[in-house]
Amino acid sequence: MKSAVLVFPGINRERDMARALKLASGQEAAMVWHADTALPKGTDLVVVPGGFSYGDYLRCGAIAARAPVMDAVRKFAAGGGLVLGVCNGFQILCEAGLLPGVLMRNARLKFVCKDVHLRVERSDTPFTRGYNAGQVIRVPVAHGEGNYEADEETVKRLEDEGRVLYRYCSAEGIVDEESNINGAAQSIAGIVNEGGNVLGMMPHPENHVEDIMGCTDGRGLFAGLAAHLEKAA
């Protein structure tokens, strides 16, 4: 699995992500600077990591979405390449037009930093094949603008087409208002594009891949991607 991790000024999770990718695939990820105009040859997966690109000025991700490297990412995605955006990366993908909707201020207007539970809605995608449908996993969040919103028609289309892959829930898998930590529409934590090859999610699976962290629930996402790409090779 040849991965490329994008690096923008203010991004701070690129090394966490690169480590998770290496643990899953055994290969070092390439670090790609925002001013580059091309991705490394043979790239299988592009990852837009979390952090605070450009200090979150304007709207979160709005400046990064217009960086030179994003044209290469759009071309890569249009050709079916796998793209993963986490936290600020999710915001960037929405601002870049690769995913619908927008990430708004958390409903309670407070930064949320804690472990949350997610329900895996499907297991038949490259981003979820490491889990079972309906499985509940525990991963961290750290964001102030993770409230996913879209117009009613878009949300309905996402639901009807099975494009919601991860949803905030209780430890028992119940989707309710209490478990919806940021007020996201339909408790949405992660969605894919129409082609199913671009995923944006707010939680940080890359921080729960090693035993030393006390939880390895994030490992399934990266193991699933590695297995998918190995099978496709």
Q: Which of 87, 117, 121, 143 is catalytic?
A: 87
Q: Which of 34, 204, 208, 228 is catalytic?
A: 204
Say whether 87 is catalytic: yes
Residue-wise pLDDT tens digits, 94-131: 999 999 999 999 999 999 999 999 999 999 999 999 99
Predicted structure pTM score = 0.97
Task: Determine the Cα–Cα distance for residues 57 and 141; give it in Å rounded to an integer.
Answer: 21
* Structural domains of the chain, with CATH: 3-232 (3.40.50.880)
Say whether 117 is catalytic: no
Say whether 204 is catalytic: yes
Task: Determine the Cα–Cα distance for residues 25 and 43; give it in Å rounded to an integer.
Answer: 13
Predicted pLDDT at 59 = 87
User: How many Cβ atoms from other residues are within 10 Å of residue 86's Cβ?
Assistant: 30
Task: Determine the Cα–Cα distance for residues 60 and 51; give it in Å rounded to an integer.
Answer: 10
Q: Which of 60, 95, 206, 208 is catalytic?
A: 206
